[in-house]
Amino acid sequence: MSKNNTMNNLQISTKCIQLGRNSNDQYGFVNAPVYRGSTVIYNTLYDIENRNMKFNYGTSGTPTIENLENAWTELTGAAGTVLAPSGLGAVALALFATTKAGDHILMPDCAYRPSRNFCHDYLEKYGITVEYYDPLIGVDIEKLIKQNTSTIFLESPGSQSFEVQDVPGIVSIAKKYNIKTIIDNTWATPLYFRAHDFGVDISVEAGTKYLGGHSDLLLGMVSANQSTWPALRKAYDGMAMLPGAEDCFLALRGLRTMPLRVKESEKRGLEIAHWLKDRSEVTRVLHPAFPECPGHEYWKRDFKGSTGLFSIILSNEFSKKGLASMLDNFSVFGMGFSWGGFESLIIPFDCSDYRTATKWKPGGLALRLQIGLENLDDIKNDLDEGFKRLRINS
C-alpha cells in the first residue's frame, strides 16, 4: 500500500500487514504477484548501453524481491536490505561487506556453529584472522582490539547457550575505533530488538525462522545503516547471491502474521520454561527472560520481549542411554535443527568441543527446545513421558 508518508506513525503489527505490497499496482489484488525471471528486455540501444531499466538482469532483483527488501528495511529502521538464500548466506554477505585480506575480526564464542565454520573454512583461508571472545565481555572487548580489527560480530542471545550480550556497550567501543558491527538477530526479530536503533551497522536474520513461520523456506535478510549500506550492496551485487521468487513470496505472506505468531511463541515459551524450571530433572533453564540466564540484565534493559526458543540443563544423574530413550520416543516433539515454525522441536547439544574463549561446563546434558503451536497440555504430557523414560533408562 502506498502510505509511506504515514507509515512511521503506525504500530509494527500494522506495518507488517501493509508493507511490501501496493494494491494499486496489483490491479486491486491484496497480495503482490510472484516475478520469476532472468532476462530483462530493453526497448532501445540507449537503454541497453546505459542499463536504463529498474532491474537490468535477474540477478539485480525483481519486484518480488524488492517488495520484501523494502518491507524489511522499514521494519528494521535500516537504510537498505539485501536478501540471501539462507541465514548462513546472510552471515557470509555481511562479513564479505566489512572485511578484506589482512583484517582481524572478533566473533562471540556463542556464535551459531555454521558461522564459526564459515570463518574458519573461508575467511581464514583468505588471510583474515578470527578471534573468539567471551559473549559476556561487554565493554572490556576494547582489550581485544588490534590495529587491523575491522569487524565485531555479535549474536544475542547465543543460539544454544543463550548468553545475552551488552550490545550498546560493545557498539560504543566499536565506534570509538571505527570498527563495523554485525549482529545475528534471528532469535528476537526486529519485533523485539531493533539492532540499528542501538547503533549496530549490519543486522543479520534468518527468515527461515519466524518470518517464514512454516518450516517450508530458506531465506536470509541483511539490513544495513546508512554508512554501511553501499558496501553491503556492493558485496551482494558482486556475488548475485539472491533467493528464489517463491521463497520471497512465502516470506511476504509470513510477514502478515509474524507479530501474532511471535507473540504466541513468547507466551508458550515462557509457560513451558516455567513448567520445566519446577521439574526435578532440570537444574537450569537458559531463557533470556529468566534471571539465571547469563546476560539477563541486558535482555531486561534492551529487549521488548522473548520468543519460543530456549535451552535446559538436565541433572548430572542422567545418562546418554536415558537421553536416547527420552528423545527417540516423543510423540509431539521432533528432533530437528531449525526452529521458528509451527512445530515443537528438541535437540541435544554440547558446545564443549568447539568453544575456544570460554569453557562450556553445564554440569549435565543440555537440550534446546522450540515450543510450537500444539496444545500446551499435549506438549507437557509429551515432555512428562519423556522424563519418565529418561529416569527409568539412566
CA distance to 286, 324, 337, 383, per residue, from 330 (Å) = 22, 11, 16, 8
Predicted local confidence at residue 321, as pLDDT: 96
Question: Regarding beta strands 309-314 and 282-286, do their DSSP bridges make them parallel or antiparallel, or are they unpaired?
Answer: antiparallel
CATH of the domain at 106: 3.40.640.10
Predicted local confidence at residue 18, as pLDDT: 82
Q: Is the pLDDT of residue 4 over 60?
A: no
In a domain, 37, yes or no: no
In a domain, 152, yes or no: yes
Map residue 277 onto helix, strand or coil. Answer: helix
CA distance to 292, 318, 393, per residue, from 281 (Å) = 17, 9, 13
Element (H, E) at 282: strand 282-286
Q: Indicate if 341 and 239 belong to the same structural domain.
A: no
**What are the cell numbers at 177?**
575505533
Measured CA to CA, the distance from residue 316 to residue 351 in angstroms comes to: 16
Tell me, what amino acid is at 280? S
Q: Indicate if 203 and 288 belong to the same structural domain.
A: no
**pLDDT tens for residues 279-304?**
999 999 999 999 999 999 999 999 99
**pLDDT tens for residues 317-376?**
999 999 999 999 999 999 999 999 999 999 999 999 999 999 999 999 999 999 999 999
**What are the cell numbers at 136?**
559476556
CA distance to 16, 252, 263, per residue, from 256 (Å) = 5, 7, 13
In a domain, 49, yes or no: no
Predicted local confidence at residue 29, as pLDDT: 79
**pLDDT tens for residues 67-112?**
999 999 999 999 999 999 999 999 999 999 999 999 999 999 999 9
At which of 231, 254, 277 does a domain end? 254
Measured CA to CA, the distance from residue 14 to residue 31 in angstroms comes to: 15
Kindly report the average pLDDT of the chain as a whole number: 94
Q: Indicate if 333 and 231 belong to the same structural domain.
A: no
Q: Indicate if 239 and 271 belong to the same structural domain.
A: no
Asked if 346 and 316 touch (Cβ cutoff 8 Å), the reply is no
In a domain, 19, yes or no: no
- Number of structural domains in the chain: 2
Q: Indicate if 229 and 263 belong to the same structural domain.
A: no
Measured CA to CA, the distance from residue 324 to residue 7 in angstroms comes to: 51
Q: Indicate if 172 and 298 belong to the same structural domain.
A: no
Q: Is the pLDDT of residue 3 over 60?
A: no
At which of 254, 276, 292 does a domain end? 254
Map residue 286 onto helix, strand or coil. Answer: strand
In a domain, 126, yes or no: yes
Measured CA to CA, the distance from residue 114 to residue 102 in angstroms comes to: 22
Helical residues (DSSP H) of the chain, grouped into ranges: 4-7, 12-18, 45-49, 63-76, 87-98, 113-118, 167-176, 189-192, 229-239, 245-277, 296-302, 320-328, 376-393
Predicted local confidence at residue 2, as pLDDT: 43
Q: Indicate if 184 and 326 belong to the same structural domain.
A: no
At which of 219, 254, 289 does a domain end? 254
Read off the pTM.
Answer: 0.93
Predicted local confidence at residue 5, as pLDDT: 55
In a domain, 124, yes or no: yes
In a domain, 17, yes or no: no
What is the domain range of residue 190?
59-254
Among residues 86, 2, 91, 63, the alpha carbon closest in space to that of 252 is found at 63
Q: Is the pLDDT of residue 141 over 90?
A: yes
Neighbouring-strand partners of residue 129: 104
**What are the cell numbers at 141?**
572487548
Among residues 109, 154, 162, the alpha carbon closest in space to that of 293 is found at 162
Q: What proportion of the chain, given as a percentage, has pLDDT over 70?
A: 98
In a domain, 3, yes or no: no
**pLDDT tens for residues 25-53?**
777 778 888 888 888 889 999 989 988 88
Measured CA to CA, the distance from residue 212 to residue 226 in angstroms comes to: 27
Q: Indicate if 202 and 79 belong to the same structural domain.
A: yes
**pLDDT tens for residues 214-261?**
999 999 999 999 999 999 999 999 999 999 999 999 999 999 999 999
For helices 245-277 and 376-393, angle between their N-to-C axes, nearest 10 degrees: 60
Measured CA to CA, the distance from residue 220 to residue 83 in angstroms comes to: 6
**What are the cell numbers at 387?**
522424563
Q: Indicate if 159 and 119 belong to the same structural domain.
A: yes
CATH of the domain at 301: 3.90.1150.10
Measured CA to CA, the distance from residue 20 to residue 70 in angstroms comes to: 6
How large is the average pLDDT for residues 165-185? 98
Predicted local confidence at residue 316, as pLDDT: 95
Q: Indicate if 235 and 261 belong to the same structural domain.
A: no
Q: Give every strand in the sheet of 345-349, ordered side by side.
A: 282-286, 309-314, 366-370, 345-349
pLDDT bucket at 1, cuts 50 / 70 / 90: very low
Q: Indicate if 223 and 134 belong to the same structural domain.
A: yes
pLDDT bucket at 6, cuts 50 / 70 / 90: low
Predicted local confidence at residue 159, as pLDDT: 87
Q: Indicate if 83 and 163 belong to the same structural domain.
A: yes
